[in-house]
Each structure stands twice: as C-alpha cells, then as structure tokens.
Structure 1
C-alpha cells in the first residue's frame, strides 16, 4: 500500500488539478506515523533523484525533528546528500520555533545550520511560513513550471501556534499552488 501511495505522489496531478496530498495520522492506537512518513519521504527522494517524479525538489518543514535528523535519515537510506542542496531544502521550525534563542542570544545555533536548512524565526506567522516554503522551493526548481514537494512533519505542532483555520488555509494554498504535500498529523486525543 505504501508503494502505491508513493507512486501517486511521484506521478502527481494532471494539468489544472490540485496537487495530491497525503495525510498520515499518528495516534496512541497506531504510533507508527513517523515511520510511514520517513518511508514515503525517502521513496519520494529516490524518485526525485532518479528523475521519475513530476516533482523536481523537496522542501521539508521540520517541526518535530531537527534538520540533522533528516540529513542522517537520507544518508542511512543510501541517498547521497553531497549534492542535496540542488534538490532538497529544510525549513527548520524545530530548533527555535518562536525565535526566542536568537533574540535572547541564549545559544549559538550555527551547529544546526547547514547548506540544506533555513531557520524559521516565528512559526506563528503562517504567511511568512508560506512565503518561506515557496521561496525555498522556487530556489530548487526555478520560476518556471517546475514542481516541488512539501513535507510537513507534524501538523499538530503548527496547531500549537496558529488557529485551525489559518493552518487549513496554509495547506490549501500550498496545494492549490501546485505543491505535492505529505503531512504527518498527530491525534491529539
């Protein structure tokens, strides 16, 4: 079943259609959401690298794991990350989601920064978050009709900082903009 889902994300939508979206629900009853998410993420990465996907790049919006987690995940799965900055970018919403550490100069964040990651200074501003995602994706594929995928690792983390309406609007805007979405949501019950 996971391979069928990965192929659907690889093949994408037809001209004029909204991009496909996948939501992976994680709960206490079935706590394997992150495993499914990482499997789909690595499969999509392989498709992008092989040129088998309509998507030419990948933007990971990291809320529940650090950017280094994703870099190490790709390395462990045999994906060469030396040229990764040409096809993948990570929007780091994990390290300092509200910008407190930067404003208070609490610690040096340079250890987490890399050529693949960009810090998000305030996850509450979903308009800036949307702009950052689009900017990173267009940096990968250019201004033309090239498509890129967006993987958000934990939507429920977004809901801690923004309303359901604004999160739904962000996801709808990404999807209608032609992005392929992979979402990991957490059952909050």
Structure 2
C-alpha cells in the first residue's frame, strides 16, 4: 500500500553517508484532509521509534499550525520521553516577549520566534541531540506541521535552504524529515521547488466519485529512487471513527471506478473491415516480378534519356552529360566565374 511505503521511508531513515530521508505531505485545493494525514504519519513514526523499530531514537516536532497540547493528545499512546514538541504556535512573532521582556513564565520562554530560521534550526538540533546522545550514532527524526506557515515569513530560497540544512544533518544526526504543505496557498513553482527537496511526496486529493462526502479521498505517493527512477502508488482513504483507513488502488486497471482504457481518445485496434482493406493494398514495386518485365533505372545507363511509363503517368530524366555521376556531390555552380 502507498501509505505503508511512506511509513517505511520514515522508519528506515537515512543510509550511511547520505542525507536524511524527506517526506512532504501536500494538500490539494479542494480537500482538508492533508493535516490529518500528516498527523497519521507522525503517530505511525512515533509508535515505530517507541518500539525500537525505527532508525530514529526520538522525534522533534515543530508545532506552528496547532498548539503543542494538540500533539500531546495525538501521541497520547507514546511515552513523552520519545518526543519533544517545539512551540512555534503560542508566540510565533515574539510579541508577548516584546510586551513583557522580563517574563519568567516557563511556557512563554519556550515559545520560539519563527522569524529567525537560524535560531529555529539550532533549537531543533539541540532538542534532537538529547535523543541522539542516548547511544553511539544515535539519530532523531524531525516533523514540521506547516511549512506554509514558515513561507509567510521567509522566501522560498530561505525555506529550501533550511530544509537542505536539516537533511545534511542526516550524515550524523537526522534520520528523516516530515513536513506538511498546503498546496492551495502556493504557486506551482513553489510546490515544485519544495518537492525537489523531498525523496517522497504524498499528494492528498479528493476522491472524484465522492466530492460531496467528507472524510473520503485519495493518497497519491511519488517516490524518487536512488537510481533516478520515479514510482507512484495510489491509495483511497476513509476517515472512520476518527482514524484513517487506507485501501490500495491498482494503477493501470481501474482508477476512480473507471476503466483506464475507456479514457483513451483513439482506438488501439483495427476492425475486421480495416484489416481486410489493408491486406488489399499493394505496396510500391510489389508488382515487380509478377509476370511483368522488371525495369528499374539505376542512373548508370548511357542513354541520354530514359522514360519509365506507368498507368498513372511517366517520369523523364535527362542527364547533362555521360560523364556525370548519378549521385555526384559536386556543386552544379562550381564552374561559374563569380
């Protein structure tokens, strides 16, 4: 299934000497299930690292679109020692600290100003090293719940550089990176640039047969292989009792309950009459040797003119001289005094 392949990428992490695996979840314009899919993958990754099945030993979650309490609720079945939430939601622009510079509130001191990407990078690194230092060559995973929020305060180049720096830590510390992007709020070139930084992209789309139904859609996964090849898988999903259930869709057979062959705008096969008509067509020179004289002029005869007649007309060829070669490459105007 497509959903399982994303969970496997996040669980397996980075190969030795390579950058961290990167997964982008992107929401289509006409669906709102993207953030829920992102949280589903966060929960799956946290469960794998808590059980020791993941390469990462801990998770650093950057909360900017939802409060930290939301993610403590999402990860309620996972020990709090396995993850840490960075608060970019409570005071993202540092206004509270500007009004009360001498505040001693622990929660307000933990709030991070997203306008400083260098500071956010350092906070992620410091929080992750707590997990990485638990054992030799330990690694941690990073999840950012809204790259769209960072794009409101930084250029595309700055955000792309930020992601690349996190991926570069994959050679030592970072195992995998997961982030969510609201595709309906960005131009196509922005989405393409962000997808370029990802090794796998999960497109959350509405199910065309159920546009009026809530909690129903499609998850299209695009993987970039190490050899440069790109593969794609599709799942249908339904939200039942607050959880996502995924069902694989076989590409090339039926997609959206419509036979893919019916979408082709031309016929791929000939009818019986067309096959019969084609068999009656005589190809050029097919009549040669069929009881008739075979005469094909090759341009090397000495006659000044040769006439080849047929039922549809005649072809006349007049050579300038007997010394002229039939396929001469000489310039015909070479003798002109210009």
TM-score, structure 1 normalization: 0.87
- Looking at secondary structure, tell me which structure has more helix per residue: 1
Question: Does structure 1 residue 172 correspond to structure 2 residue 157?
Answer: no
Q: How do 1:10-49 and structure 2 match up within 5 A?
A: 10-49=11-50
Shift of 1:109: 9.5
Question: Does structure 1 residue 73 correspond to structure 2 residue 74?
Answer: yes
Flag the 1:13–1:140 CA change in 2: closer, same or farther, 3 A.
Answer: closer
Gapped regions of structure 2 (runs ≥ 5): 187-338
Please tell me whether the aligned partners of residues 48 and 54 of structure 2 are also in contact (alpha carbons under 8 angstroms).
yes
The CA distance in 1 between the partners of 2:39 and 2:104, in whole Å, is 25
SS in 1 for 2:54: coil
SS in 2 for 1:52: coil
SS in 2 for 1:28: coil
Shift of 1:69: 0.3
SS in 2 for 1:55: coil
The CA distance in 2 between the partners of 1:177 and 1:46, in whole Å, is 23
The CA distance in 2 between the partners of 1:186 and 1:136, in whole Å, is 26
Question: Does structure 1 residue 153 correspond to structure 2 residue 154?
Answer: no
> Structure with the greater relative contact order (CA < 8 A, sep ≥ 6): 1 or 2?
1
The CA distance in 1 between the partners of 2:30 and 2:60, in whole Å, is 29
Residues paired across the two proteins, number = 178
Residue of structure 2 in register with 1:162 after alignment = 154
Please tell me whether the aligned partners of residues 21 and 182 of structure 1 are also in contact (alpha carbons under 8 angstroms).
yes
Gapped regions of structure 1 (runs ≥ 5): none
Shift of 1:35: 1.1
SS in 1 for 2:60: strand
SS in 1 for 2:10: helix
Please tell me whether the aligned partners of residues 151 and 159 of structure 2 are also in contact (alpha carbons under 8 angstroms).
yes
Residue of structure 2 in register with 1:124 after alignment = 115
The CA distance in 2 between the partners of 1:22 and 1:96, in whole Å, is 27
Please tell me whether the aligned partners of residues 22 and 178 of structure 2 are also in contact (alpha carbons under 8 angstroms).
yes
Please tell me whether the aligned partners of residues 131 and 139 of structure 2 are also in contact (alpha carbons under 8 angstroms).
no
Shift of 1:128: 0.8
Shift of 1:102: 2.2
Task: Deviation per CA, 1:9-60: give whole Å up to 9, x if none.
Answer: 1011210111111000013223211111011000000000000000001000
Q: In terms of Rg, which structure is larger? A: 2
The CA distance in 1 between the partners of 2:31 and 2:154, in whole Å, is 26
Flag the 1:28–1:110 CA change in 2: closer, same or farther, 3 A.
Answer: farther
The CA distance in 2 between the partners of 1:8 and 1:41, in whole Å, is 12
Please tell me whether the aligned partners of residues 144 and 178 of structure 2 are also in contact (alpha carbons under 8 angstroms).
yes
Shift of 1:110: 5.0
Please tell me whether the aligned partners of residues 50 and 78 of structure 2 are also in contact (alpha carbons under 8 angstroms).
no
Task: Deviation per CA, 1:120-158: give whole Å up to 9, x if none.
Answer: 1x2111111101100000022218421100000000100
